[in-house]
């Protein structure tokens, strides 16, 4: 038990970051990490001892996220009455250059295909090796490298052209 705690506890902040980047919703991401940690505890003794703990835990989180995203895509979401929402959650910060860059980056990440976004987040944000990312996503290492290359190129192209924001802006109409 102490061995598990010693190996898994330092991973929790990275798991939360990855979950939030995938789901883009704090509460859902925290629930996902909780579900992941429950599975880690449940299956700790049945894991292969030669497996890298970090890769194993991230693979569990990734698979749970894919399931959650599929479930979310198939449904309409939950309805929350306006009066039940905390006003602090509806407030937005003043628009500043850093906030704009952050928004543009998040929009550009959203514009990437899910497989490219996952690779980019695991390698660039979570600092995983190509081999670890390949184990997490259960794909060959060559696929990791090609997807990462395409993801970086596409992200740069989107950031330079602003193509991600163009899809979210409404078209202006001319009224005579």
Residues 6+ positions from 126 with CB-CB distance below 8 Å: 14, 17, 18, 58
Specify the fold of 1-75.
Rna Polymerase Sigma Factor; Chain: A (1.10.1740)
- Looking at residues 99-121, what average pLDDT do you find? 89
For 93-167, give the CATH class: mainly alpha
pLDDT band at 167; cut points 50, 70, 90: very low
**Is 169 a residue whose pLDDT tops 60?**
no
Domain 1-75 identical in fold to domain 93-167: no
How confident is the model over 159-165, as a mean pLDDT? 72
pLDDT of residue 91: 66
pLDDT mean over 31-52: 89
Structural domain spans, the chain: 1-75, 93-167
> Does 168 have pLDDT greater than 50?
no
- pLDDT of 77: 54
The answer for residues whose C-beta is within 8 angstroms of residue 148's C-beta and 6 or more apart is: 116, 119, 120, 123, 130
């Amino acid at each position: 038990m102490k061995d598990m705690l010693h190996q898994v506890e330092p991973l929790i902040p990275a798991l939360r970051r990855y979950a939030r980047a995938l789901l883009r919703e704090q509460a859902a991401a925290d629930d996902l990490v909780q579900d992941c940690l429950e599975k880690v505890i449940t299956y700790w003794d049945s894991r292969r001892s030669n497996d890298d703990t970090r890769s194993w835990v991230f693979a569990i989180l990734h698979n749970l996220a894919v399931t959650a995203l599929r479930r979310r895509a198939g449904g309409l979401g939950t309805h929350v009455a306006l009066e039940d929402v905390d006003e602090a959650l509806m407030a937005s910060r003043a628009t500043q250059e850093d906030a704009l860059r952050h928004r543009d980056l998040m929009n550009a990440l959203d514009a990437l295909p899910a497989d490219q976004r996952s690779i980019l987040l695991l390698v660039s944000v979570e600092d995983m090796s190509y081999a670890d990312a390949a184990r997490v996503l259960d794909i060959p290492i060559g696929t990791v490298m090609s997807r990462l290359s395409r993801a970086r190129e596409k992200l740069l192209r989107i950031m330079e052209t602003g193509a991600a924001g163009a899809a979210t802006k409404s078209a202006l109409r001319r009224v005579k």
